[in-house]
Amino acid sequence: MSKQDQKKQKPNPKEDIQQEKLQAVLLLDSYGNKFEPLNSNRAECLLPLIGNKTLLDNNIEFLLENGVEEIFLFCTRHHGQIRNHIETMKWRQVVEIHFLYNFTCRSLGDAMREIDAKGLIRSSFILMTATGLISNMNLKSYWENHKQLCKTDKNAVMTMLCVNGQKDLHFPNNEANTLIVHNMAGKILHYDKLNMDSKHCYPNKTTMPFSILDKAYNMRITPVQHSVDSANAKFKFHHQSEQLNATSGYQGGSADTVLHLNTIQNRFDLIESQIYFCNPYVLHMFTDNFDFKTMKEFVIGILNDEEVSGYTIYIDQIQSKFASHFGQINSLNSYFHETMKLLQRVDMVFDYSTRSKYRSLADSINAFAAKSAHMSGNHSKSMRNVFVEHNARIGKNCHLVNCFIGASCTIGNNVKLTNSIVWSNSRIGDNSVLNGTFVASCAKIGTGCRINANNLFADYCKVKDGTCFTDRAVYYTKEVEKRLRSKSSCCVETDESCDENQEAVELAKRIENLSVGVNESNYMKFFVTQKGMIESDDEDEFDLDEGDEDGEEALSIASACSEAHSTSNDTSKNGHFMVIRSQKRNFSESDWLNEWNSEGQSTDGSDESSEEDFDRNSSDNELELGEHVEETETFFVEVVDSLKRAIRESLESQNIVLEINGRKHANGIQIDDTCYYLAKAIFYLPIATSAVDRNLTLKEQQDGNQSLDYLKSLKVYLEKLAPVIENYFTKTKQSQRLFLESLQDFFLNTKLHSDQAPNSFLDTYYVKTLLHMFNECEFLDESIIIEWHQQQTALLDKSKKSDLSLLDTQQRVQASKILLKEHSIEKLKPFIEWLKEDEEDED
């Protein structure tokens, strides 16, 4: 930091003298998951490219070539890694670099707010993401245009650079499809992201606000432009023509309005380059509006507010020149293909000074090998577009076409590599054939492997000898998988269960046929089926091998089903690997599933293991309730507070009831929920009050018997609150049932204190005593308890009998809950029997 501070101080006097420096903000995170699983243990911006470079290096050099003199790097994750990298790089000395980081940023908006808070940027700047593009374009003229714009239109805050490109039909990317409506000066009138219809690859209907016509009115148009573009505009407009005609009719549309349509350009074909020329206001705007998370939201927000604030956003279209290159990276696929393209673009990868050392293989076409690379035999005839980094070893008779081989890799004899990328420290055994494969660092591919389809092997993957892959997939190790899951970004299944089962069976068959012998079987596998469905499954062999030892882990992987994210048939034929990623993320549900499965296993075995999970379940349970949770949660807290106060000040029961009703109305809680949470609050009271006293009576607590404490204090509270409880819980049977349920849930989910052993074992003991006590206090009806118990046991039996696979998700969730309850109910059995006997006796 001290170094940076010094550097910051130095240029300050200069800035006054010189004209303002060209500044750039480079965001190092994509705030997405596009590089999963490769980004699990390295920063996204440090993903390697060809020529001993990373994405970050490439983009910084891109900025340098465009005359940027000061770069602000903003980083959220892996900042240590990035910092170390920067210190070693040679561009460190050439340009002034400020390194900012903040761990808490979750989105582009957060990052912008953070940068604004630092207050380092005072002039216009270039905003770019380090992971979004590879390019060698010349931005100077566009920057001049932007400056000019700012002079003519004082309200212009931003210029988006767009590339005119055809939509990439091979990798339909839902995020990339934008509709941009702009006028002749490039001012954006309307901006919308479109959902592509996967079958037809053109957007569904969109609605455009009528205000864009008004905006078009305000612009002065020269007649020349008008005539030139009228034909163009008409052509481009036919998608929306019906709708716009309708709207113009609505305004009493004259011919005028329709004529002005010609001044509007409707563009589907623009790809945002993720390069933005921003005024410093942009940062302030992000700070003012906390809703802005992404650039899209920002643009839409600014456009919506245009009438109020008057700020405008422009686009500029990049004209492609000879040998200029622009590649967008928005998925693993595009990353792979951009790297492949770079193999054929020496001029982009190497700066001129490093180039010569790679030219030792002049005979073959575009083959570059670092001098320290070791190659046995003569490869000149079988190499084309090959880059070999230093210390790589390549065996005899290798056939390498369109390959990148990273530093310190070892390639065996007779290996055939085509269209493949191998990162550093990987090994490929003899006689293997790889096509279109992406092997990340430290991976091992055995001898005689055949990988025909496009596969991606993430870091530390190991593939057994003689394995054959024909499906396109992404493989990664379990460690990575765990990490991903801990980030709660695991996939979710939403499919119908029957289908899924069939699929699973199919997949199991296919695994056998493929004879995938994956070493140590630490892999998650994703399959792309013929239907274009993505399905995940673990190895069957895996279950057999290790199922007993760490069954829980195995099951958790088994249950992490991926959501079937349908892609069109076209993509599955293209011969690119699919990137598997679910669109929806619903963590709690998948967790429930995990629990469900692990419960299903462990109920047969030991009860204790399942009990350990109760606490987690309770939290999940609340998660699942979603928005509702917040209301009930506040209600619960409020009720606890008011009850505490009531007891302390010994208020009248009437007043307490009134207060609770007031809270109920304030939070909009249903009567059932009120009963449930009130009961919960009452049971919680002893804990809440003891927590308050805790600091004072620490010794007592250590000595004293906790359970007795709880019971005693609860008895006291129950006596005091008896009228309230009678008011709520004795009137209907339903309320009594709720009371019982609440009681049960409470004891299942609570461990009294964190320092106490997490066992609900004791709690079940409480249930007995409490119920007994309730009979004495006569809050509850015996018959209802018995009825409730029967109901519960019936449900339990049903869920035991029914096949798990036949249940849909909702039922599963319920069933898993019931399973939790199972043992508490078993504990209740003697008590219930006693009650029954009692009843019969009375009869």
366 counts as binding another protein under rule CB under 8 A? yes
Token pair 């508490």 is at which residue? 824
Q: What is the dihedral of CA 499, 503, 505, 509, to 10 degrees?
A: 160
Q: What is the side-by-side order of every strand in the sheet holding 427-428?
A: 374-375, 393-394, 410-411, 427-428, 444-445, 462-463
Single out the segment in contact with another protein by CB under 8 A; choices: 76-84, 88-96, 227-235, 804-812.
Answer: 88-96
22 counts as binding another protein under rule CB under 8 A? no
Least Å distance, CB 461 to another protein, is 23
436 counts as binding another protein under rule CB under 8 A? yes
In the list 11, 33, 41, 65, the residue contacting another protein (rule: CB under 8 A) is 65
- CA–chain centroid gap for 439, Å, is 23
172 counts as binding another protein under rule CB under 8 A? no
Q: Which one, 275 or 687, has the nearer CB to another protein?
A: 275
Spatial neighbors of 471 by CB under 8 A, at least 6 apart, are: 453, 455, 510, 514, 527, 528
Phi, psi dihedral angles at 623 (to 5 degrees): -60, -40
Q: Which one, 167 or 396, has the nearer CB to another protein?
A: 167
Least Å distance, CB 36 to another protein, is 22
In the list 12, 152, 166, 583, the residue contacting another protein (rule: CB under 8 A) is 166
Single out the segment in contact with another protein by CB under 8 A; choices: 357-365, 529-537, 561-569, 759-767.
Answer: 357-365
Write the Ramachandran bin of 385: left for phi over 0, alpha for psi from -120 to 50, otherwise beta: left
Least Å distance, CB 114 to another protein, is 29
Q: Which one, 367 or 738, has the nearer CB to another protein?
A: 367
In the list 3, 14, 154, 321, the residue contacting another protein (rule: CB under 8 A) is 321
Least Å distance, CB 232 to another protein, is 21
- CA–chain centroid gap for 123, Å, is 33
Q: In terms of C-beta distances under 8 Å and separation of at least 24 residues, what long-range contacts does 783-787 make, across chains too? A: 783/839, 784/733, 784/736, 784/737, 784/740, 785/740, 785/832, 785/835, 786/832, 786/835, 786/836, 786/839
Distances (CA, A) of 73 to 45, 82, 125, 126, 264: 11, 10, 13, 12, 37
575 counts as binding another protein under rule CB under 8 A? yes
Spatial neighbors of 166 by CB under 8 A, at least 6 apart, are: 269
Least Å distance, CB 402 to another protein, is 8
**161 and 277 in contact (C-beta within 8 Å)?**
yes
State both tokens at 136.
């060698």
In the list 359, 509, 645, 800, the residue contacting another protein (rule: CB under 8 A) is 359
21 counts as binding another protein under rule CB under 8 A? no
**Spatial separation of the C-alpha atoms in residues 89 and 92, rounded to whole Å:** 6
Least Å distance, CB 23 to another protein, is 19
Q: Which one, 126 or 643, has the nearer CB to another protein?
A: 126
Q: Which one, 342 or 392, has the nearer CB to another protein?
A: 342
Terminal alpha carbon distance of the chain: 84
Q: Which one, 325 or 396, has the nearer CB to another protein?
A: 325
Total of chain residues touching another protein, rule CB under 8 A: 45
**Spatial separation of the C-alpha atoms in residues 706 and 700, rounded to whole Å:** 10
Q: Which one, 133 or 835, has the nearer CB to another protein?
A: 133
Q: Which one, 95 or 784, has the nearer CB to another protein?
A: 95
In the list 53, 98, 113, 345, the residue contacting another protein (rule: CB under 8 A) is 345
393 counts as binding another protein under rule CB under 8 A? no
Single out the segment in contact with another protein by CB under 8 A; choices: 78-86, 96-104, 334-342, 526-534.
Answer: 334-342
Q: How many residues in the chain? A: 843
Q: Which one, 341 or 396, has the nearer CB to another protein?
A: 341
Least Å distance, CB 421 to another protein, is 12
**226 and 260 in contact (C-beta within 8 Å)?**
no
385 counts as binding another protein under rule CB under 8 A? yes
In the list 346, 625, 777, 786, the residue contacting another protein (rule: CB under 8 A) is 346
**195 and 171 in contact (C-beta within 8 Å)?**
no
Task: Name which of residues 122 to 141 contact another protein (CB under 8 A).
Answer: 136, 138
Least Å distance, CB 139 to another protein, is 11
Is the link from the previous residue into 37 a cis peptide, with omega within 30 of 0? yes
Q: Which one, 327 or 532, has the nearer CB to another protein?
A: 327
64 counts as binding another protein under rule CB under 8 A? yes
Q: Which one, 6 or 810, has the nearer CB to another protein?
A: 6
Spatial neighbors of 824 by CB under 8 A, at least 6 apart, are: 744, 747, 748, 760, 763, 764, 767
In the list 340, 422, 533, 825, the residue contacting another protein (rule: CB under 8 A) is 340
In the list 11, 32, 165, 551, the residue contacting another protein (rule: CB under 8 A) is 165
Q: What is the side-by-side order of every strand in the sheet holding 96-101?
A: 96-101, 70-75, 23-27, 125-129, 270-278, 156-164, 312-318
In the list 18, 106, 169, 830, the residue contacting another protein (rule: CB under 8 A) is 169
450 counts as binding another protein under rule CB under 8 A? no
Q: Which one, 90 or 665, has the nearer CB to another protein?
A: 90
Least Å distance, CB 133 to another protein, is 13
Write the Ramachandran bin of 668: left for phi over 0, alpha for psi from -120 to 50, otherwise beta: left
**Spatial separation of the C-alpha atoms in residues 48 and 55, rounded to whole Å:** 6
Single out the segment in contact with another protein by CB under 8 A; choices: 179-187, 335-343, 439-447, 516-524.
Answer: 335-343
| Sign (positive or negative) of CA dihedral 768, 772, 773, 777 | positive
Least Å distance, CB 422 to another protein, is 17
Q: Which one, 140 or 584, has the nearer CB to another protein?
A: 140
**Spatial separation of the C-alpha atoms in residues 509 and 76, rounded to whole Å:** 43
86 counts as binding another protein under rule CB under 8 A? no
Least Å distance, CB 571 to another protein, is 13
- Amino acid letter for position 411: I
Distances (CA, A) of 424 to 326, 379, 406: 26, 21, 4
Spatial neighbors of 595 by CB under 8 A, at least 6 apart, are: 613, 616, 617, 620, 816
Spatial neighbors of 140 by CB under 8 A, at least 6 apart, are: 66, 67
State both tokens at 698.
């620490």
14 counts as binding another protein under rule CB under 8 A? no
Q: Which helix (H) or strand (E) holds 193?
A: strand 188-193
In the list 44, 61, 471, 563, the residue contacting another protein (rule: CB under 8 A) is 61
In the list 11, 81, 120, 168, the residue contacting another protein (rule: CB under 8 A) is 168
Least Å distance, CB 327 to another protein, is 8
Least Å distance, CB 151 to another protein, is 26
| Sign (positive or negative) of CA dihedral 118, 121, 122, 124 | negative
399 counts as binding another protein under rule CB under 8 A? no
352 counts as binding another protein under rule CB under 8 A? yes
Site string for another protein, 195-214 (x = CB under 8 A): --------------------
269 counts as binding another protein under rule CB under 8 A? no
Spatial neighbors of 222 by CB under 8 A, at least 6 apart, are: none
Q: Which one, 93 or 254, has the nearer CB to another protein?
A: 93
Residues engaged in binding another protein (CB under 8 A): 61, 64-65, 90-91, 93-94, 136, 138, 165-166, 168-170, 321-325, 327, 337, 340-341, 344-347, 351-353, 355-356, 359, 362, 365-366, 384-385, 401-402, 418-419, 436, 574-575
